[in-house]
Copies of this chain bind each other. A is one copy, B any other.
Amino acid sequence: MKLASSRDRAPGRPVSRQVLADHVYEELLAWLMDGRLEPGAAVSIDGTARELDVSPTPVREALARLEHTGMVRRVALKGYRVAPVFTREDFAELMEARLAIEPVNARLACSRMTPEGLADLRGAVKDLETAPRGPSFAEFRDYLEADERFHKLIAEQSGNQFMLSAYNALGGQVQRFRLFGGVGITDAEQAIAEHQAVFEALASGDPEQAAAAMEDHVQKVRARAIADAPAD
């Protein structure tokens, strides 16, 4: 594979303002979410560099950033590995944390919601409704993406950089993908209804109602996931 290097761009074009390490970072992120890198698999620095046709230096920098997100783990002098699979305990902890953080985000976002923010949220809900949700990963990828975007938009609209950081620390983007990695979407109808409820609560302008709707949603997600959890 060959990444676009900053050297390759045509002269005069607006510069990309992005360096190779950033491209490598996003490429690795895509690999993780595509399931191309399975949990526990080793991520060789030199190997990845050869694969992407870059030198190990930017790969090293990209992995250093990824490590802090929890998606890969590093052991000194041994290299990087994709973080291990989610256990039931991990899932329970994640939901506990989401219950602590996301209703607060909804409450804050509700009181500071802009028309543009509402429009973005409406778009995410729409995408959630129309996204295909077949059994294979490629088919429900868009669904999960819209789900994640909905929650992330609320975190951003909270207007609180630390709440956004805390939300991001949950690793929502990827944890979500990995959670359903072998399961598929079985609760789309209910989940969509709950997202609509959250959206309407936000649109209504009542912060407490928004927080309650979000809490209800997360709790129901937890209940459904526990009900048909895959074996560890």
Contacts and interface: CB of A to CB of B under 8 A. Distances in A.
Secondary structure at chain A's binding surface: helix, strand, loop or mixed? helix
Contacts of A19: 76-77
Contact of A17 (B21, B76, B93): B76
Interface residues of A, number: 40
Query: For the complex formed by this chain, how many copies does it contain in all?
Result: 2
Quick one: which of A19, A21, A161, A171 has the most chain B CB within 10 A?
Answer: A161
Interface stretch (A63-71, A120-128, A129-137, A140-148): A63-71
A97 B108 CA distance: 11
Interface of A: 15, 17-19, 21-22, 57, 60-62, 64-65, 67-70, 76-77, 90, 93-94, 96-98, 100-101, 104, 108, 159-163, 165-171
A165 to B, nearest CB: 4
A100 B101 contact: yes
